[in-house]
Amino acid sequence: MFFFIFRRLAQSILVMAIVSAVSFSLFNFVGDPVNNMVGQDATREQRIEIRQQLGLDDPILSQYARFLGNTLQGDFGMSYRIKRPVDQLILERLPATLELVFVSAVIALVVGIGLGVYTGIRRHSWISRSILSVSLVGVSLPTFIIGIALIYIFAVHLRWLPSSGRSGTVDFGWWKTSLLTVDGWRAIILPAITLSLFQLTLILRLVRAEMLEVMQTDYIKFARARGLAERAINFRHALRNTLVPVITIIGLNIGGLIAFSVITETVFQWPGTGLMFIQAVDFVDVPIMAAYLVFVALLFVLINLIVDILYFVVDPRIRLGE
Amino acid sequence: MLFTKLLTVSTLALTVASSAMAENVLRWTSQGDALTLDPHSQNESPTIAMNGQIYESLITRDANLLLQPELATSWEAGADGWTFKLREGVKFHDGSDFTAEDVVFSFERAKHEASDYKEQAKNVAMVEVIDDYTVKLKTDGPNPILPNQLTSIYIMDKDWSEANNVTSPQDFKAKEETFAVRNTNGTGPFSVVSRAPDELTVLAANPDWWGSDLFPGNLDRIEYRPITNAATRVAALLSGEVDFVLDPPLQDVKRIESTEGLNVQTVAQIRSIFFGMDQGSDKLRSSDAEGNPFKDVRVREAFNLAIDKVAIQRVVMEGFSFPTGMITPPGVLGNTPENDTSYGFDVAKAKALLGEAGYPNGFTVQLDCPNNRYNNDEKICQAAVAMLAKIGVTVNLDAIPKAQHFPKIQKRETDFYMLGWGVPTLDSHYVFSYLLDSEGSWNATGYANPRVDEISRAITSEIDIDKRTAMIDEAWNLIKDDKPYVPIHHQVLAWGSTKNVDIPIAADDALRPRFVVMK
């Protein structure tokens, strides 16, 4: 067991190193940050001087080595754009992103499983058919179009909800939460729905497919033969057996939610790490981009590690294979 | 008994509510937030605009861009500098007095190595204190346009800066943020109540501001919420969540106008859009032609005639542009109606000129174009590609983000490129010295006309206004003949707002809250 975790950890470190190296080498193609850092009337000499100060003219390998060295010492540098320490900026923005991802995941799970079960059991009703066709929207339309459409319906026309931004926050030490006030919930609802839609559709279709399959199995037929109530059959026997693949998919997709939140946060001006990343790309704010990518890589690696460990615990075959 | 108590409570609540309603709050948005509240750290429009509400300079501009007294009440030129009378009785937000010492300190700070205003501030060699309310800004020789160069150099409090260890702006190697990045102490009409970068900045009117009774503005609070996404920004205006959008996308202007209760104002912006042609290199990098076709003025004229500026205005810009024949807009000293007239559109003549120059079958060249900087920048370039194809020139378009585009121009590594230029000083010198002087840091055309160079340098010290203006005109006439650039148009600004707020639009795209009236 320990050996297994140790091996996975070693692999994770390798993955982190590769991700950071690849992303770092890409920054060379994003453009020149200096142009954004000084006014248009700065002279050529001043620009060259700043490039030298920042070490932008050094070979990419030594820039990477310097970045790696600083990162290992916990120093992510200063943002070129806002001139504040990067780790502080990310910590400030993280609660907004995590809360958004959390609410989206809950929506995707509850609604996705609920509708999946319903469409699996009542598969010929017109409600099921319309749910399935509407859910196609969730997978086929890009996030930003869904976001803008929701804004126009619920903020511009109906004026029920705010169009963008995060409000009603309450401080808990360094964690700013918006989940404790009505204003906070009003603000999070549209971005959370937008972000959840894709996952929701995925879960809905997965649960439905699994349900259809499980309903054909012998133990369900046997349960029916025993004269059990529909309710018990559907939920105690069928649903439970569909959840194993669903949990796997969700585990892997939490990372996806954080990645997709870049677009959702931009559309809704949600002040999380994704919005900060987009602004950093626009400005060529290399310290923020580098730190963010390392952070996302770390997140994926951690989630995968947990999933792996869970498999190990749950599935004896992996243990035997060692 | 209980009833009366309830009644009192509810009337109390009503009074509180109505006094809150009576407060004039301007809620507004634009694309980008200020990068820092340090007034000397970033020379960038949203930052200047935000800091200009909190801090003040000696001289400012009104909505018509005319120079107006701010912390100075009068000024006059001398042979070795300008003397400024300072406004008396002005206090910083923390209550300390504004005096000549603060002016000396602020110019030193603005000239510091880490300041982004050092180019503007270097025009002032030193500040001499004559008395508490008189200073002399000494220059190296006469400088006729010094007042124009001071409008965004903001004045800070010396004692406050020393006490908080911010006597210089933050430099790029710093490991920590400095106090001035998020804290302010200005003399301006508003002070900071709260600030969450990229979320919400709240400013409150400064009750002790010297200009409280002199300006029409009646705002008590300003709430600024940057919104990056253009469609969301417009939605915030349409849904009534903001009163003012500084930068609605041009394609949404008609929609805002047609919405009840909303209003759009437009004005010609102080920014011109044009193409540069590298006529200095011996060989073009991206062309199949022998040598450099752009060296021949007939080729440059052909390019000017082949591009239909009016069609670009109508089709690409939806009417929001002013086609032009020069690279600086009305409002800048040196722009004349004659030179502002476009070169026209004449495909036959353009073709003939190319033939005369020895390129009857045209040639190929790459056009470098930004895709996230100017209004419809990439679409303008696409239109130009199609138009130049009609005279046989095959243009390969390379439209890329500004962060990659501008370094090409600065390194002079482009044959044919798009650039836009704004003029904060409203004087042609700012155009000549960067774009037309052979040494200009943004002149990637390699254009070198000895007389233009001479004028570009002479007007920095010519104090006789008529003589100076005549020189500027002479230079623009030479440029009109030499055609180093292909001028396209001056951009148009559009501001969207609700009808119950009166916001005078200004060609420099800056909100001036002291003139904003809420009805």
Size of interface A-B (CB pairs under 8 A): 142
Name the minimum distance, in Å, from the CA of A37 to any CA of chain B.
7
Cα–Cα distance between B294 and A82 in angstroms, integer?
42
Average the pLDDT over B107-128 and give the result: 90
**Is the pLDDT confidence value at B515 over 90?**
yes
Identity of the highest mean pLDDT range in A32-36, A182-186, A228-232, A312-316: A182-186
Nearest CA in chain B to A42: B119
Q: Which residues of B292-331 are buried (b: 16+ CB within 10 A; e: fewer)?
A: bbbbbebbbbbbbbbbbbeebbeebbeebbbbbbbbbbeb
Render pLDDT for A38-92 as a digit per residue (tens, 0 to 9): 877 788 888 888 888 888 888 888 888 888 888 888 888 888 888 888 988 999 8
How far is residue B272 from each of residues B319, B426, B504, B508, measured CA to CA in Å?
15, 13, 22, 12
Compare A143 and B394 and report the one with higher pLDDT: B394
Render pLDDT for B290-349 as a digit per residue (tens, 0 to 9): 899 999 999 999 999 999 999 999 999 989 999 999 999 999 999 999 999 999 999 999
Mean pLDDT score of chain A: 85
Of B176, B227, B430, the CB nearest to A85: B176
Nearest CA in chain A to B407: A32
pLDDT at B67: 93
pLDDT at B142: 85
Which residues does B310 contact at the CB level (< 8 Å), separation at least 6? Answer: B323, B342, B345
Binned at pLDDT 50, 70 and 90, residue B10 comes out as: very low
Q: A35–B406: do the CB atoms touch at under 8 Å?
A: yes
Render pLDDT for B432-444 as a digit per residue (tens, 0 to 9): 999 999 989 899 9
**With pLDDT > 90 as the criterion, what percentage of chain B qualifies?**
77
Name the minimum distance, in Å, from the CA of A321 to any CA of chain B.
51
Render pLDDT for B197-252 as a digit per residue (tens, 0 to 9): 888 999 999 999 999 999 999 999 999 999 999 999 999 999 999 999 999 998 89
Q: SS3 of B194, please? A: strand
pLDDT at A318: 61
Angle at A176 (CA atoms; ends B190, B47), nearest 5 degrees = 35
**Is the pLDDT confidence value at B458 over 90?**
yes
Per the DSSP assignment, residues forming a β-bridge with B487 are B274
Binned at pLDDT 50, 70 and 90, residue A316 comes out as: low
C-alpha closest to that of A84 among B120, B174, B80: B174
Which residues does A31 contact at the CB level (< 8 Å), separation at least 6? Answer: A284, B401, B402, B403, B404, B407
- Give the strand pairing for B25-29 and B221-224: parallel
Cα–Cα distance between B88 and B228 in angstroms, integer?
41
The alpha carbons of chain B give a radius of gyration, in whole angstroms, of: 26
How far is residue B444 from each of residues B2, B287, B370, measured CA to CA in Å?
81, 17, 15
Q: A33–B227: do the CB atoms touch at under 8 Å?
A: no
Nearest CA in chain B to A76: B175
Q: SS3 of B59, please? A: strand
Compare B13 and B296 and report the one with higher pLDDT: B296
Cα–Cα distance between A134 and A276 in angstroms, integer?
32
Cα–Cα distance between A69 and B74 in angstroms, integer?
56
What are the backbone angles phi and psi of residue B451, rounded to the nearest 5°? Answer: -70, -40
Per the DSSP assignment, residues forming a β-bridge with A117 are none
For residue B473, how many C-alpha atoms fall within 13 Å in the half-sphere facing its CB? 9
Helices A286-314, A273-283: crossing angle, 10 deg rounding: 140
Render pLDDT for A204-225 as a digit per residue (tens, 0 to 9): 988 898 888 888 888 888 888 8
pLDDT at A275: 92
The answer to whether B456 and B467 are in contact (CB under 8 A) is no
Name the minimum distance, in Å, from the CA of A155 to any CA of chain B.
6
Looking at the complex, does the CB of residue A33 fall below 8 Å from at least one CB of chain B?
Answer: yes
Render pLDDT for A195-206 as a digit per residue (tens, 0 to 9): 999 889 988 988
Question: Chain A residues with CB inside 8 Å of B229's CB?
Answer: 144, 164, 266-267, 269
CA B73 and chain centroid, separation = 25
Cα–Cα distance between A122 and A126 in angstroms, integer?
9
Looking at the complex, does the CB of residue A70 fall below 8 Å from at least one CB of chain B?
Answer: no
Cα–Cα distance between B163 and A281 in angstroms, integer?
36
Average the pLDDT over A250-279 and give the result: 86
Binned at pLDDT 50, 70 and 90, residue A319 comes out as: low
Name the minimum distance, in Å, from the CA of B351 to any CA of chain A.
36
Residue matched to tokens 């243009």: B395
**Is the pLDDT confidence value at A321 over 60?**
no
Render pLDDT for A79-108 as a digit per residue (tens, 0 to 9): 888 888 898 899 989 999 999 999 999 999
**Is the pLDDT confidence value at A1 over 90?**
no
Q: Specify the DSSP class assigned to residue A151.
A: I
Where helices occur in B23-144 by DSSP H, the ranges are: 45-54, 100-111, 118-121
pLDDT at A35: 79
Binned at pLDDT 50, 70 and 90, residue A314 comes out as: low
Q: What are the tokens at B494? A: 């559009």
Burial class (CB in 10 A: 0-12, 13-18, 19+), B90: buried
pLDDT at B393: 96
Angle at B369 (CA atoms; ends B363, B374), nearest 5 degrees = 140
Q: Specify the DSSP class assigned to residue B132.
A: T
Which residues does B188 contact at the CB level (< 8 Å), separation at least 6? Answer: B52, B53, B54, B55, B56, B206, B209
Q: What are the tokens at A169? A: 């926050």
Of B174, B407, B441, the CB nearest to A43: B441
Which residues does A170 contact at the CB level (< 8 Å), separation at least 6? Answer: A176, A177, A178, A180, A181, A184
Binned at pLDDT 50, 70 and 90, residue B14 comes out as: very low
Name the minimum distance, in Å, from the CA of B135 to any CA of chain A.
26
The answer to whether A156 and A147 are in contact (CB under 8 A) is no
Q: Which residues of B486-514 are buried (b: 16+ CB within 10 A; e: fewer)?
A: bbbbbbbbbbbbbeebebbbbbbbbbbbb
Where helices occur in B308-419 by DSSP H, the ranges are: 309-311, 337-340, 347-356, 377-389, 402-410
Average the pLDDT over B121-143 and give the result: 92
Per the DSSP assignment, residues forming a β-bridge with B86 are B72
Per the DSSP assignment, residues forming a β-bridge with B128 are B136
Cα–Cα distance between A160 and A166 in angstroms, integer?
15
Nearest CA in chain A to B422: A40
Average the pLDDT over B371-380 and give the result: 92
pLDDT at B19: 43
Of A41, A50, A278, the CB nearest to B172: A50
Cα–Cα distance between B494 and B460 in angstroms, integer?
34
For residue B230, the one-letter residue type is A
DSSP of A11-23, one letter per residue? HHHHHHHHHHHHH
Render pLDDT for B30-70 as a digit per residue (tens, 0 to 9): 988 998 999 998 888 889 989 999 999 999 999 999 999 99
Nearest CA in chain A to B149: A41
pLDDT at A8: 81
Looking at the complex, does the CB of residue A152 fall below 8 Å from at least one CB of chain B?
Answer: yes
pLDDT at A18: 87
C-alpha closest to that of B139 among B122, B121, B125: B125
What are the backbone angles phi and psi of residue A141, rounded to the nearest 5°? Answer: -90, 140
